Chain A
């Protein structure tokens, strides 16, 4: 073809994860024409949907908002240094206001300690209300119930580990495993997704509640794998709670993640209602540059390329796990969408340390950005004046270790939109 296809928008957001959707929704709600292009659905669907702000720094963090300052002085260049405490709090407030139907509780002032499926207490600041009763700081005696048909969640393992871990942290609590034998469609092995859909059925839910009630003793609360419904999660959870007569909490499992699907749906619905567009299967393959400005991004379509022309671009493609960054066999790292310069440790330092669980320098590789979130070239100048980065593509953090990824994505996505809105006037 001689001429490339072109369409127009005010803003193109690349990536449909937490950072991308947050930026896109804010911009669309402000009246800008927003097109979000993404290679596929974002990783929200794989996540437990909690907003972890800062869990370890490297010691267990109890009060993220207060402890962040000290953490940042020990971690210069961390993405949180781009976000003020006020902006961080505002982004959390924004999320709460945009997640009706998946109500969030908690704030950056304090971490809850929620059990994982392995029974490890995980520091999370802002969590779906369906998980909050699992906070071991407040529990005395809980039952952890699993479904025999769901092999991904083993209540004995979770209960034993949780009791030991809570004790090690100074929280005395007893945890008792409970086995539910309710069958699903007569099958012996179902996914968390199938179970979540099944629990939206009243008769099935009643049967589960009856089995739970029969097995419970005097526990204060009961934990279940996070399979309490999809579209109707709020009522599934409150209904179950009413039937067993005590708080019920969800414990995240391996993907598919029902809480992640709920959050992704709520945000995608928000974007659509605000008039924003989401185009999937749309891998970015190049840039349209005009006089230094990023005039648009080129994406692959079914048969050609299409240039989405725009005034601003938000790059929210994620880190290595989401494909925003890639490393080849020689160890060279690249930013996959636009080929932007990537920063990491100095060339003479190793990217990987000897042991698997070491704090590998590779984990903090990513884009270097200015205070306006604009990716920087090696000369220290913004690559384009109208290109902004958000989320895990920004380097300088070790999200898996710090438990900081959700907070970074939410706050930088929120901030990127704010910067563009200011420019738009």
Chain B
């Protein structure tokens, strides 16, 4: 249950830097739409002072979506979101974790059960009566955007894929995450094609969940064992100096920072993996800066919006997707500047939080609708599902655009 000394010191030590300036309050997307969440400063640096012996003085903490914007905007370096995630874990472990939260936080379990029976599972998830029952019995909102099972896994494709003609000798490791494995294997295939087009040989080790949904739901112990298991599979490659690229921006951030700062996992292998992990667009933009990216992009006569999700912003790398899009002829990109789509992983799926999540996303949705895009580009899968749910627009990962521009389709 305890976090490591270093993580605890990092998080709580940052508390002392809070000058109560309210910049986090002014930027919090949740507090802006509901009085149920009083704001990150209130439940964080302020309430934390009273949490020395008691888990939490205020249950409103549970309405934090963990989007992390408070930490991002803090000019003093206070880890507001991390403080709140840890405090919520303590609160939930004392009060008990619901069956709903136990279920929605275990993506591999869902994936393994749903994949073989994908048509049936998808039919049930699309059935209004079934969803109504699920809402009442379990607490997942009837309208919440749940993904469709692909009916096949990316891992299976990866094991059987043919040798590439363009793959070179430089190796790069692909951390595809659960969503690519069970819901969007096509994204994984395109990622491999884009990397191979740039002369990389792509290594796809066996891998399971990084533990992020467990962390978001306050189930830290299982989350730690998930991330340790994943790191065991990835560390041998990091040790050889290979970079690990991730298409799921939130899961990449989990490996880079959150498992260390929030779960407090103190593990040399994790640190090594963390230092070697790259968001796919970060990796490609770095290649471009080094003059090593292939820029034989063909015209893509489309209008796309780009929303950098909260977790992508948490990488502190800017918006490399936009730098890459600049290289594509005829692509018209509308950069959006809304903080959050509302979903925050599993937050917006929950019966009591669905409406809040939709309100958080409403500004983004109206900006996207107003731009009439051919596609709404976004780096995070749950955000893409939420965007499509909120706007009806097709939402794709930046890699899909690059794949098309390279003429790899």
Chain A residues within 8 Å of B, Cβ to Cβ: 1-2, 5-8, 35, 38-43, 45-46, 185, 187, 191, 193-194, 197, 255-256, 261, 268-269, 272, 277, 279-283, 299-304, 306, 309, 322-323
Contacts and interface: CB of A to CB of B under 8 A. Distances in A.
B403 to A, nearest CB: 22
Given A7-B286, A41-B73, A309-B289, A272 B23 contact: no
B315 A302 contact: yes
B75 A40 contact: yes
A300 B316 contact: yes
A277 B316 contact: no
A303 B277 contact: yes
B93 interface: no
A281 B35 CA distance: 27
B256 A302 contact: yes
Interface of B: 21-23, 25-27, 32, 35, 39, 71-77, 241, 253, 255-257, 274-277, 282, 285-286, 289-290, 313-320, 322-323, 335, 337
Contacts of A272: 335, 337
A191 B41 CA distance: 12
A306 B276 CA distance: 13
A304 B35 CA distance: 37
Nearest to B319: A277
B35 A280 contact: no
A306 B316 CA distance: 9
Contacts of A46: 21-23
A8 B289 contact: yes
Given A281-B71, A303-B274, A306-B317, A7 B285 contact: yes
Contacts of A302: 253, 256-257, 314-317
User: Which has the most chain B C-beta neighbours within 10 Å: A45, A185, A279, A303?
Assistant: A303
A42 B75 contact: yes
A396 to B, nearest CB: 23
Nearest to A42: B75
A258 B322 CA distance: 31
Contacts of B317: 7, 279, 301-302, 306
Contact of A185 (B35, B256, B335): B35
A120 to B, nearest CB: 22
Contacts of A300: 316
Contacts of A322: 75
B134 to A, nearest CB: 31
A261 B26 contact: yes
A309 B314 CA distance: 21
Contacts of B275: 1, 303-304
Contacts of A39: 74-77
Contacts of B314: 281, 302
Given A45-B26, A256-B25, A279-B318, 19 more contacts: A1-B275, A7-B320, A7-B323, A39-B76, A40-B75, A41-B23, A41-B73, A191-B22, A193-B22, A256-B26, A280-B73, A280-B316, A281-B316, A282-B316, A283-B77, A301-B317, A302-B315, A303-B257, A306-B317
B26 A303 contact: no
A197 to B, nearest CB: 7
Contact of B76 (A1, A2, A255, A323): A323
Contacts of B319: 277
A154 B242 CA distance: 61
